Amino acid sequence: MKTDMEKSKNILLTIEYDGTNFKGWQSQEGQKTVQSVIEDALEKALSERVSINAAGRTDAGVHAYGQTANFVTGSRLPVENLKTVVNNFLSVGNKRTYPVGSVRIVDVKTVQEDFHARFSCVGKTYMYKILLAKEPDIFKRNYFYRINKELNFENMAKAAKRLVGEHDFASFQASGGTPRKTTVRNIFDIRFDGEGNELYLFVTGDGFLYNMVRIIAGTLVDVGIGKINPADIGEILTSCDRKKAGHTAPPCGLYLYKVYYSKEEMEIWTDPVGTNIL
């Protein structure tokens, strides 16, 4: 028999955001962050303050198509109404001022009691967008990393192929992140795609060190412009020396693209390095 007091529910959100005007994901006192904006909207929807756990904490200026975050609530608001209600609060304004419409709940679902957006995650795909253009495009300034030199895509694909697999990525880690037990990570796939003068990089792995995708993107660009030889990637990896890898590409080109909770979901990304732009 159901009691009047509903059992608490564990809810998983899939979230899209334009990170341009945020100080990153994680709540910080007095700062406009994606997490705090969502928690404020949830507070209005659920009539209780909840704390959300994200799959990945993105930095200032980084975007997301498919960030995920879960929270536990005792609220009786039907889960099927949550998306609409929270999106309404997200677009009409909030305790903290923020750019209207820059965060959106894409999907809401109930998950098992022990599910955790970060710990249950088996892999993630990040997308990195590069604009190949001599002149700046002001409409893309916050969403792309513009490169005004010619890129050698074949060399970039060679270098990417060498990065795929289980490696110690210490050379591809910036200082300043949360300390980690190990710097070994498994990159399942690096894929290139593109349209017109836009180049997209998709990096899928079981986990990522601080700034790892941005350093991979920067290193591949350095390979593309001839500053780094693709044959040197192995040496860069084994050196475990951040100074050997390429530059850190800017945050505005980076998107948390997809978070996986089962290996089956990931399969479409696990072919060898692919590119249709060559």
Per annotation, catalytic residue among 4, 18, 40, 59: 59
- Spell out a b/e string for 81-113, using b for 16 or more CB atoms within 10 Å of the CB, else e: ebbebbbebbeeebeeebeeebbebbebeebee
Q: Which of 12, 13, 14, 17 forms a contact with a second copy (CB under 8 A)?
A: 17
Q: Structure tokens of 190?
A: 């690096």
18 a catalytic residue: no
256 and 172 in contact (C-beta within 8 Å)? Answer: no
User: Does position 16 bind a second copy by CB under 8 A?
Assistant: yes
User: Does position 168 bind a second copy by CB under 8 A?
Assistant: no
User: Does position 139 bind a second copy by CB under 8 A?
Assistant: yes
* Residue (1 or 138) nearer to a second copy, CB: 138
Do strands 184-195 and 274-275 pair parallel, antiparallel, or not at all (unpaired)?
parallel
Applying CB under 8 A, which part among 33-41, 48-56, 101-109, 224-232 lies near a second copy? 101-109
Collapse the DSSP code of 205 into the 3-class scheme (helix H, G, I; strand E, B; otherwise coil) and give the result.
strand
* Residue (107 or 235) nearer to a second copy, CB: 107
Calpha distance 35→54 (Å, rounded) = 8
User: Does position 76 bind a second copy by CB under 8 A?
Assistant: no
Calpha distance 189→263 (Å, rounded) = 13
Q: Which of 6, 31, 88, 101 forms a contact with a second copy (CB under 8 A)?
A: 101
Calpha distance 161→51 (Å, rounded) = 39
User: Does position 18 bind a second copy by CB under 8 A?
Assistant: yes
User: Does position 260 bind a second copy by CB under 8 A?
Assistant: no
* Residue (132 or 240) nearer to a second copy, CB: 132
User: H-type helices in 71-150, by residue range?
Assistant: 79-92
Q: Annotated active-site positions, please? A: 59
User: Which chain residues interact with a second copy by CB under 8 A?
Assistant: 16-18, 63, 101-104, 106, 135-136, 138-139, 141, 143
